[in-house]
A and B are shown apart, each in its own frame.
Chain A
Amino acid sequence: MKNLDDEIDNLKNKIKNIKLDDDFKEDLSNKIETEYRKDNISKKKKTFYFPKQIVAAVFCVIILTSCVFADEIGNFVNNLFPNTTLDVEQLLANGNLQAINMDYIKQDGVAIKVDYVLQEENSLYIVFNILADEEINNVYLEKIKVINQDNKVIFDNIDYITDMSKLFYKIDNIDNKNIILTAKLDNLEKNEENKKINIYIEKIKLKYNNSLRNIEKQWKFNIEI
């Protein structure tokens, strides 16, 4: 008669023996290569169209008649475009791109504010401006929740209910203490209903040259879209 631990051990070993076919693995490996190369090719194509996007961005300065300067827009476009297929002209024309005017919220030596919010049909982009007291190399959003005016969850990994694969972000260092983090939240439903969003960041991880630091504090932002 076996006990539970023996049965679990036995099950574990059986599961270890389950393998994917070699053919499947080879196909998969080729597919990864192809996808990765495709990405690089499309990046090059985007670079080719970049001047047009800069023109659109500069045009936006006039349209918005706000305090958004050309170099900031340039940075923003730079930030987004290497990795996305957004049609900036269209977004600007539709008013989907929002420059947010707010003060930094500071917790434990790290100040964060939202610079821009951009809404597409199925994605929401949030551009965070992060300012640290010390030199940092990178920032990771460990716990973030975004809800709309009806308390509908747009993204939530605080309560572990949203697919982490729907969060992508890109980091750009302005200087050693200042990082621009563009978060992209994918697969939104009925995005047009988001008139106001509340963003809660409850945990971030800072990467220094040789160490990491977790900060568990709340940065809360209320943004009208």
Chain B
Amino acid sequence: MIRHIFWLLPALSISIWAQHETKEGEKAKHPFIGNVAEIEKGRQLFANGCGGCHGPEGGGGRGPNVQDRGVWHPMGDPDMYRLIQKGQGLMPGANLAEDDGWRLVAYVRSLTTPAFEMKAPGDAAAGKAVYAGSGCANCHTIQGAGGKLGPDLSNAGLKLPLPKLRKAILDPDDAIAEGYQGVEIVMRSGERIRGVVKNRTNYTVQVQLGNGTLRLLDMGSVEQMTLRQTTLMPVDYTKRLSKADIDNLVAFLAQQAAGVSK
């Protein structure tokens, strides 16, 4: 049975895609969509039920990755609700109480909706102070100001949904952004260069220093190169910051969407 589900879930995702856009979802937005408390309840429901196939956080497993917008987009909310409740193909219907069904829809939506479009828990103004006081700007840039060793966050609210934004702070080792692998290089001249790798081949390596300076180095002039598999970012923010601080920081970053007004 499990084998059948494994093979049929991808097929199901195609049939969902083929349903094409329904405007219904846009017209009748359920109050749980974007509601942080209900999303959290939906997360628990998802982890305990849907997670068996879709992964505990929707990242995929035997079933499709629902963090991937392509799987369900542009299915409207009512279609997603019906799919969850009644199932399709070999995906069993959840048959939950109506509110719980909508909590699941709200949770799945929250996995891919840009943080900027969500109501983040926490106070963005207080989060700005957390950002300033925690040294984030030593490595990250927002609208031109800050260090260059971490990804530019000017548009973080448009690029990441809330769960991924939070995870990037609490578990930065989980995924190091392309172009931000830490490196220490010893040149044949004895010079030591530390920064992040923008690109690397057997012939050249390009390093960006903390102040933004780019260095393109011929490999022939490199004596030794040490690449970090772990992030340069501190991994102990769960200890350094209170839960409220983290909520506030996430709220602040969720607002970073340069040039776009809410």
Q: Are A and B co-members of a single complex?
A: no
Q: Which residues of B contact A (CB under 8 A)?
A: none
